[in-house]
Structure 1
Amino acid sequence: MTDRKKLIIAIDGPSGAGKSTASRLLAERLGYLNIDTGAMYRSVALAAHRAGIDPENHTALEELCDRIDIRLEVDPRGGLRVMLDGEDVSMAIRTPEISRLTPLVAAVPAVRRAMVTLQRRLGRDGGVVLEGRDIGTVVFPDADLKVFLHASARERGRRRWLELKEKGVEVDLEQTVREVVERDRVDMEREEAPLVRPDGAVDIDSGMLDVDQVVRLLLDEVDRTLRKRRDTGAARKG
């Protein structure tokens, strides 16, 4: 049982729904650790790409997971640094190529088992905000607060397109939307931990909201969860 003020918060949803930014800002407001599980899978995909490993080669991917070291470190300038074998790969894991490769690697059972084990170890003591696609269903199905954050595929594609343009990457908007739709299909149809709305999750559509509005909604849900926990504790004492 975690400390009553140290919640385990699970934020799930499809690619591009704003999970990473909202989770990071929520964690900063609460003084919690932010665990970007998607960055972990992206790191495996990057390592596999560099090693020339085909995503269909499950044995090689399992061996890769056994030997690489993935860490999430707080960046003094804000946010997280994603470290792969001591190298900061925070930018390298966000390229279109790695984005396309990640869902294929993440669908491999051995990869998911390795990452879930790491995620549970990082989050078991509470005081964490974990974001991904299977946090509330597989990693921490009994999380204190579960949220499903989503938006339409077109809106998520538009956001991704703008993000890449800001980085100087010229991509076609319609192609980006098609890639988002395909990513959704892979995530929802995979046999191992498919993307679904967790039971009991709070549903938030971020399509018409800015990030500050999303964070405010999340903070309201945290307050509601803490009040419920306090009320339950008081009732037991009574």
Structure 2
Amino acid sequence: MSEESGVSDWNPVEGLTIAIDGPSGSGKGTVAKMLADELALPVLDTGLLYRLTGSVALQRDVSLDCESDVAALVDDLLTDIDWTVDGVFFAGENVTSQLRNEQVGAAASQVAAMLSVREKLLGLQHLLAEKGCIMDGRDIGTVVLPNAPAKFFLTASVRERARRRWAQLKDDSDSSLEGVLAELKMRDQRDAERQHAPLKQANDAIGIDSTTLRVDEVIDRMLGVLERRKLIARSVS
């Protein structure tokens, strides 16, 4: 991205969809946003949909152990959800910043394991992807965008991912690095072992371990892959 002009240095092919998957704390959200800036594509965080569902379930005392009750809640939510590049709007309010705490994240992991909930939200994801975008989540390359021409699986060591999450939450006096590490390990296990759309690397996805990489180094690797596949081309100045 040219800092002076604000114009992208790259031209993506029309309707390009890019899938970025990975566990919590792997940096996929940050990478997706930076890659989107480089390519002038919208980035859509599918995890926010599950976080919103989990958050509203907590607010309304809907049992996270009852799939039918959570699915009924989703039917209600879909009439008031507006999912855009700026985040998730609910009842006209941008609630994105309210969905980033650990309690909501844990609830989101629970509801994301429910098949009926995933099916209800999948249609919305497909609709928004049609014009081209970057999506990040845990099952984008395997379920949401299985035919995406570019798929990446971003990971890092569990301790490094915990350190990153803790750094984001350090203003929360109740959080500790060891506590975040324990929660992350539980979430990793739940996401990997859930029956429906478990977290796993798609067969045709390129794995990138970001443990010792800067974000710009990850972006450079992704741009290199996209250019070699002729999915993007440098802008002619």
2:159 equivalent in structure 1: 154
Q: What does residue range 120-159 of structure 1 map to in structure 2 within 5 Å? A: 120-126=126-132, 128-159=133-164
- TM-score, scaled to structure 1: 0.87
SS of equivalent residue, structure 2 residue 152? strand
Q: Verify: 1:64 aligned to 2:69, yes or no.
A: no
Which one is further off, 17-26 or 167-176?
A: 167-176
2:4 equivalent in structure 1: none
Give the superposition deviation at 1:73: 3.1
SS of equivalent residue, structure 2 residue 195? coil
SS of equivalent residue, structure 1 residue 17? coil
- CA shift digits 1:58-99 (9 cap, x unpaired): 11111111111332334xxxxx33212222211211112111
1:223 equivalent in structure 2: 227
Q: Counting helix residues as a fraction of each chain, which structure ranks higher? A: 1
SS of equivalent residue, structure 2 residue 119? helix
The 2-side partners of 1:92 and 1:228 are apart by 35
* Unmatched 5+ stretches in structure 2: 1-11
Q: Verify: 1:210 aligned to 2:221, yes or no.
A: no
SS of equivalent residue, structure 1 residue 111? helix
Aligned residue among 112, 119, 125 for 1:119? 125
Which one is further off, 3-12 or 150-159?
A: 3-12
The 1-side partners of 2:38 and 2:191 are apart by 30
- Say how many residue pairs are matched: 220
Give the superposition deviation at 1:106: 0.9
The 2-side partners of 1:171 and 1:81 are apart by 25
The 1-side partners of 2:228 and 2:84 are apart by 29
1:186 equivalent in structure 2: 190
- CA shift digits 1:147-189 (9 cap, x unpaired): 0000111110010011101x44441111111111110000000
Q: What does residue range 1-238 of structure 1 map to in structure 2 within 5 Å? A: 4-68=13-77, 69-74=80-85, 80-126=86-132, 128-165=133-170, 167-226=171-230
Pairwise CA RMSD: 1.8
SS of equivalent residue, structure 2 residue 197? coil
- CA shift digits 1:183-216 (9 cap, x unpaired): 0000000000001110111110011112121112
The 2-side partners of 1:81 and 1:58 are apart by 25
The 1-side partners of 2:53 and 2:89 are apart by 11
- TM-score, scaled to structure 2: 0.88
CA contact (8 A) 1:18 1:149 kept: yes
1:235 equivalent in structure 2: none
CA contact (8 A) 1:5 1:226 kept: no
